[in-house]
A and B are shown apart, each in its own frame.
Chain A
Amino acid sequence: MADTQSKELKVREKQEVASPAEQTAPGLVFTPAVDIFETEKEITLLADMPGVKADDLTIDLRDNTLTLAADIAPVEGAGEEDILVEYETGRYYRQFTLGELINQENIDAKLNDGVLRLSLPKVEKATPKKITVKTV
């Protein structure tokens, strides 16, 4: 892990969403970069969403489809003129299909420094059971 922490970060362009269903509001839509990992008990999702406030974030889980959607408020004040624009800002949107049954009651979401941490606990039934092979 030490190696990955000390390497130099490279520029990565924000990924624009190709077609997030029908667009009803003007503006750009980006896919947030995510880490998803699972342990025996839960699935955890981390998403980079700079500029998003907790109130502007919508997390929806239905029929095994998890949807992340977030609006961002413009940060530029009135009267500011662009000199250099290297990145664009816009809404975030991304969908995932979950293969596991999720205990909807205990989903936990935290947003810190522009990073969302979403914990999706698996339903008891889905935790893997070890099967012992009997020798006759």
Chain B
Amino acid sequence: MGRVASDETAPSQRVSAGVFPLINLTEDKDNYYVRAELPGVKGDGLDIQVTGNNLAISGKRKIAAEEEGARYHRREREAGTFSRMIGLPGEIDTDKVEANLENGVLTIVVSKAEIAKPKQIIVS
């Protein structure tokens, strides 16, 4: 599995793993934030699991069948299943993971393990 490592020279360079859904990963002092755009996916259609410092996101996107006799002009939206694994770059606290799905955007907040949090050292 590809490990996600931050690149000091180009932090926001776009590199895609080519697996649905596309993911944006950010961090601050205390947490990692994993975001994905999943329009039309409901919370109960999602399965999120954490093991070690890996996060597995899988689910299903359904598109309800429309009434019979509907004639299509455009059909660009797709339904189907998805499954993705992402490795987080540092140690995490698997007990403190929160997921929230709002307006079709999934946000998973993963707490960093105490040892992975930066500590400020005061020079006395």
Say yes or no: A75 contacts B35, CB within 8 Å.
yes
Contacts of A20-54 to chain B: CB distance below 8 A: 33-40, 44, 46, 48-53
Say yes or no: A86 contacts B82, CB within 8 Å.
no
Say yes or no: A5 contacts B24, CB within 8 Å.
no
A residues contacting the other copy or chain, number (CB 8 A): 45
Report the contact-size class of chain B (Cβ under 8 Å from the partner): 35 or more
Interface secondary structure of A, over-half rule: loop
Asked if B119 lies at the interface with its beta carbon under 8 angstroms from chain A, I say: no
Say yes or no: B82 contacts A48, CB within 8 Å.
no
Select which of A9, A34, A84 is within 8 A of B20 by beta carbon.
A9
Most chain-A Cβ atoms within 10 A of its Cβ — which of B20, B24, B67?
B24
Most chain-B Cβ atoms within 10 A of its Cβ — which of A10, A39, A52, A80?
A80
Select which of B25, B29, B65 is within 8 A of A83 by beta carbon.
B25
Asked if A19 lies at the interface with its beta carbon under 8 angstroms from chain B, I say: no
Asked if A7 lies at the interface with its beta carbon under 8 angstroms from chain B, I say: yes
Say yes or no: A81 contacts B27, CB within 8 Å.
yes
Chain B min CB distance to A5 (Å)? 5
Asked if B61 lies at the interface with its beta carbon under 8 angstroms from chain A, I say: yes
Asked if A4 lies at the interface with its beta carbon under 8 angstroms from chain B, I say: yes
Say yes or no: B17 contacts A5, CB within 8 Å.
no
Q: Which residue of A lies closest to B75 (CB)?
A: A35
Known: A80-B27, A84-B24, A85-B12. A75 touches B107 (CB 8 A): yes
Say yes or no: A33 contacts B76, CB within 8 Å.
yes
Chain A min CB distance to B6 (Å)? 5
- Residue numbers in A under 8 Å from B32 (CB-CB): 83
Say yes or no: B24 contacts A37, CB within 8 Å.
no
- Residue numbers in B under 8 Å from A83 (CB-CB): 4, 6, 11, 25-27, 32, 89
Contact with B along A103-135 (1 / 0, CB 8 A): 000000001111100000000000000000000
Known: A4-B80, A11-B20, A80-B28. A39 touches B72 (CB 8 A): no
- List, sorted by A's number, 30 A–B pairs whose CB atoms are closer than 8 Å: A5-B63, A8-B83, A9-B79, A9-B80, A11-B20, A34-B74, A37-B75, A39-B67, A39-B70, A39-B71, A48-B39, A48-B40, A51-B103, A79-B28, A80-B33, A82-B11, A83-B27, A83-B32, A84-B15, A84-B24, A85-B12, A85-B13, A87-B24, A88-B14, A89-B37, A111-B103, A113-B42, A114-B37, A114-B104, A114-B105
Residues of chain B having any CB pair with chain A under 8 Å? 4, 6, 11-29, 32-33, 35, 37-42, 60-63, 65-67, 69-83, 89, 101, 103-105, 107
